[in-house]
Amino acid sequence: MSKLLKEFKEFALRGNVVDMAVGVVIGAAFGKVVTAVIDIFLTPILEALPKMENGGTGFAGSLISFVAVLVEFLLTALVLFVIIKAMNKAKNLTKKPEKPAEPTTKKCKYCLSEIDIKATRCPHCTSELK
């Protein structure tokens, strides 16, 4: 049983799972903010537009709801895109540059063939290397 708990703890505290959980919570909270902005600002503007003839409030109301949901989706996607892009850029800034790999070969200065870095004699032209 303790092995199962240990594995679950490793899984739950893995960086990706925690990042995803934070993202879901922030996304839900941001969704509420966007919904409030739509309800307060966009919906009154759309409702102030002239109504369709013959009391077409059903279609107009549905159209207003659709436009509000569409704008909410686009705003949410845009802001999340900007946040993720900024996080990726910040993550790349904190990375230490990797050291270039040590060369394992060198070129013979006489025949220009590639040889092992520790070689003292070229296996191709048999020239002595310094």
- DSSP letter string over the chain? -HHHHHHHHHHHTSHHHHHHHHHHHHHHHHHHHHHHHIIIIIHHHHHHSPPPTTTTHHHHHHHHHHHHHHHHHHHHHHHHHHHHHHHHHHHHHHSPPPPPPPP-EEE-TTT--EEETT-SB-TTT--B--
Instruction: Kindly report the length of the chain.
Output: 130
pLDDT at site 13: 67
Return d(Cα 33, Cα 70) in angstroms, integer.
15
Q: How confident is the model at residue 58 (pLDDT cuts 50, 70, 90)?
A: low
Q: Which residue has the higher pLDDT, 52 or 46?
A: 46
Return d(Cα 6, Cα 46) in angstroms, integer.
55
Percent of the chain residues topping a pLDDT of 70: 85
Rounded average pLDDT over 109-126: 88
Return d(Cα 113, Cα 106) in angstroms, integer.
8
pLDDT digits (tens, 9 = 90+) for 16-40: 776 777 778 877 887 788 788 878 8
In CATH, 2-94 is 1.10.1200: yes
Q: Which residue has the higher pLDDT, 104 or 65?
A: 104
Domain ranges of the chain: 2-94, 100-130
Return the SS3 of 14. coil
